[in-house]
Amino acid sequence: MAAAGKVIKCKAAVAWEPNKPLVIEEIEVAPPQANEVRIKIVATAVCHSDLYHLLESMQKDGFPTVLGHEAAGIVESVGPGVTEIQPGDKVIPLPIPQCRECRFCKSPKSNQCAHFRWPTMRKDMKPPASRLTCKDKNLQQFLGIGGFSEYTVVKQIAVAKIDPAAPLDKVCLLGCGVCTGYGAAVNTAKVEPGSTCAVFGLGAIGLAAVMGCKAAKAEKIIAVDINPDKFEKAKVFGATDFVNPKDHNKPISQVLSEMTDGGVDFSVECVGNVEVMRSALESCVQGWGVSVIVGLTHLHDISAQPIQLIAGRTWKGSVFGGFKSRDAVPQMVKAYLDKKLKLDEFITHNMTLDQINDAIELMKHGKCIRTVLNVSPQ
């Protein structure tokens, strides 16, 4: 490529500080260094984790930053040591790397990696080096990606090469939300055929969890949300029942227990609210019920009565749906191309990078499932 080895000037949406609108700036993107890949970002979806960092996390040392991590693009150039990826390849950058060498990557028990750095655990931790700068200031890359930019640089262990036939403005959703929810049901909860499930929260991750429960052949899938407008969308992904907690004057766990002869076999929490997490646990049947926490928060502690767990329930957490990222994402892309996985149905809005603040407002007020930003033409 013509710009290989040179600094690229391009457009990006920069979050200079928390709780402020993003600013479209011209930034400089340095060439990739050893084991790095420079990517032309074609499409990026807005995920609630971006909003959480911007509006809720209270991590002042996490700025200035380029948010955006649910992205897809085309490799522009690669640094020394990169062998599996070449310029021109279609790729999805990954929020969780897979080095294939650390104790986590070698274990079938986890999809985490020693190189994964939790975005909410910043105390005494220096941000990783970024190749993005603006006005002589280094810009952090959220989750090591920085997808709200026309170009970015990512470590090769956090890049999945995908089928060249894949439409990037659709498969970008596999960079986070869809894999996270779908895998929480299939990989973490290990939903069983004929079982009863409850999914709390019907954003993109919750809807993907519903889809995962259906793929695992659950018999009853109860969608729980305080917005009744979301039920028709949940039906598309496989929900069989809908419960609005506001319609009842008793705890939602009691409602679900009465609906399911003592509780659901599996519950998946996709809200990021500690009270909902407890409700999801308490909605599970004693003896074998499994509840999975997916929603992101670090601002409050969770609590539960010990008897809930002593009685045989299991409480688990899930990140990126338990998928080993570089291995699984290309397979999920193939599943979409084979029409075994829904993606188009998640997309409610298409916008440009210049409209990023409008896209954030839509998500903030619950008026979209996923907005895909067309960052740059293919």
What's the token pair of residue 146?
């920085």
From 31, 317, 331, select the one nearest 163 (Cα to Cα): 331
**347 pairs with which residues across the strands?**
370
Task: For residue 115, indicate whether it is catalytic.
Answer: no
Q: Please tell me which residue in 49, 149, 291, 376 is annotated as part of the active site.
A: 49
CB count, 10 Å around CB of 262?
A: 13
Please, what sign has the CA dihedral across residues 115, 118, 123, 127? Answer: positive
Q: Which amino acid is at 113?
A: C
Q: CA 296 → CA 31, 48, 178, 222, 242, distances in Å?
A: 33, 9, 15, 21, 23
Catalytic-labelled residue, pool 10, 48, 57, 69: 69
Active site residue 107: no
Identify the active-site residue in 48, 53, 115, 349.
53
Q: Which residues contact 47 (CB under 8 A, 6 or more apart)?
A: 69, 70, 176, 177, 204, 370
What's 249's DSSP letter? S
DSSP 279: H
Active site residue 283: no
Q: Which helix (DSSP H) or strand (DSSP E) does residue 214 occupy?
A: helix 204-215
CA distance 283 to 36: 45
Residue from 134, 176, 213, 284 carrying the catalytic annotation: 176
Q: Establish whether 368 is a catalytic residue.
A: no
- DSSP-derived secondary structure for 283-349: TBPTTT-EEEE-S---SS-----HHHHHTT-EEEE-SGGG--HHHHHHHHHHHHHTTSS--GGGEEE
How far is 106 from 98, CA to CA, in rounded Å?
10
**Residues annotated catalytic, as ranges:** 47, 49, 53, 69, 176
